[in-house]
Each structure stands twice: as structure tokens, then as C-alpha cells.
Amino acid sequence: MTDVGGIGAEQLRSYIERIERLEEEKAAMTADIREVYAEAKGNGFDVKIMRQVVRLRKLDSADREEQEELLDLYKRALGLAV
Amino acid sequence: MTDVGGIGAEQLRSYIERIERLEEEKAAMTADIREVYAEAKGNGFDVKIMRQVVRLRKLDSADREEQEELLDLYKRALGLAV
């Protein structure tokens, strides 16, 4: 094994390259997500609201209800209530 | 097509589900990356320095040199130079 300054250079290179490959795949996912949103936008959907929906669907119904109550409370506190 | 309040509900659901699948795959990549770093750490490598190396390898050598010169300049300006 190539040893540079007491470090296993090949082992390090292997880790770094694995990370880079995974980062690339992750970046591709990010691009794909952006594309789906763009396609939805092209079909008349609002991207910001879709992002909110995605976030809400991650919560269970109790958490969703709690967040909605808190948001409502904060809105009323700041005079944003409809 | 199911129409809810003038919106194509099934089309919206399809977009949201595509996004959710991609978000899941992206989260899996993030977890995989974290695992590689953890494995490297277990073998004695410093994760923070590895992250710096990953960032540096994204730059071409001119950008890398420029960043290193700037960092050196800022360090000297703040008395951090070795």
C-alpha cells in the first residue's frame, strides 16, 4: 500500500472516490427533482405550494395538525389571519 | 381525470409521488455518503479534512490555487499564519 506521510494514500483515494460517485448520484437526484417540479409548473401547478405539500406529507396527521394549529396561532398573533 | 377544485388531482398526485421517490433515493445517497465517512473515520481518517479534500477536488487547479492564495491572505490579515 502506498504510504504518504504515514497515510494509506490508496485507501484514502478509494474513500474519496466512493464519496464523489455518491455525491454525483445525489446531484443527479436533485436535478431530477427540479425537473419534475419544472414539468409540474409547465402544467400549471405552483411549485412553492407543491413543496409545502411534500413537506406536509412527511408528517403524520398529529404532527400536521399541531403544525397547522401553531401556524394559525402565529398568524393570528401577527394579524395575518384571513 | 379526478378534478378537485379545478385541479387535476391525479396528475398532482403523480408529480408528488415522483418527487417523494426521488427524495427518498436522495436521502439514501446522503446516508451512504455518511457511512463512507464513518468507515473512513473508523480507519483513522479525519472527516473534516476529507470534506475539504472533496470540495477542493471539485475545483480546477486555477480555482484551487486562487482559493488557497485568498485563504492565505485572509489568514495573514488576521494573524492566523503559521
Residue-by-residue DSSP string for chain B: --EETTEEHHHHHHHHHHHHHHHHHHHHHHHHHHHHHHHHHHTT--HHHHHHHHHHHHS-HHHHHHHHHHHHHHHHHTT---
Provide, as residue numbers in chain A, all residues whose Cβ is less than 8 Å from the Cβ of B19. Answer: 33, 36-37, 50, 54
pLDDT band at A1 (very low <50, low <70, confident <90, very high): low
Note every long-range contact of A35-43, with CB atoms under 8 Å and residues 24 or more positions apart, other chains counting: A36/B15, A36/B18, A36/B19, A36/B22, A37/B15, A37/B19, A39/B15, A40/B12, A40/B15, A43/B8, A43/B11
Question: For the whole model, what pTM was predicted?
Answer: 0.80
- Looking at residues A73-80, what average pLDDT do you find? 93
CB atoms B22 and A29 under 8 Å = yes
B14 — contact with chain A (CB < 8 Å)? no
What's the length of chain A?
A: 82
Whether residue B17 is found in the same domain as residue B50: no
Provide, as residue numbers in chain B, all residues whose Cβ is less than 8 Å from the Cβ of A54. Answer: 16, 19-20, 23
Whether residue A40 is found in the same domain as residue A50: no
The answer to whether the beta carbons of residues A39 and B74 sit under 8 Å apart is no
Whether residue B4 is found in the same domain as residue B36: yes
Q: Rg of the Cα trace of chain A?
A: 23
Residue ranges for chain B with pLDDT beneath 70: 1, 82
Whether residue B71 is found in the same domain as residue B35: no
Whether residue B53 is found in the same domain as residue B26: no
Q: Which amino acid is at B72?
A: D
Question: How would you label A52-69 residue by residue, b for 16+ Cβ within 10 Å and e otherwise?
Answer: ebbeeeeeeeeeeeeeee
pLDDT band at A81 (very low <50, low <70, confident <90, very high): confident
Whether residue A2 is found in the same domain as residue A37: yes
Range of the domain at A37: 1-45
Calpha distance A47→A38 (Å, rounded): 8
Whether residue A38 is found in the same domain as residue A54: no
Provide, as residue numbers in chain A, all residues whose Cβ is less than 8 Å from the Cβ of B33. Answer: 19, 22-23, 26
User: How many domains are contained in chain B?
Assistant: 2
Whether residue B50 is found in the same domain as residue B81: yes
Calpha distance A6→B40 (Å, rounded): 15
Instruction: Name the residue in chain B with its Cα closest to that of A46.
Output: B12
Whether residue A6 is found in the same domain as residue A37: yes
Whether residue A41 is found in the same domain as residue A1: yes
Whether residue A35 is found in the same domain as residue A64: no
Whether residue A70 is found in the same domain as residue A41: no
For chain B, give the mean pLDDT: 93
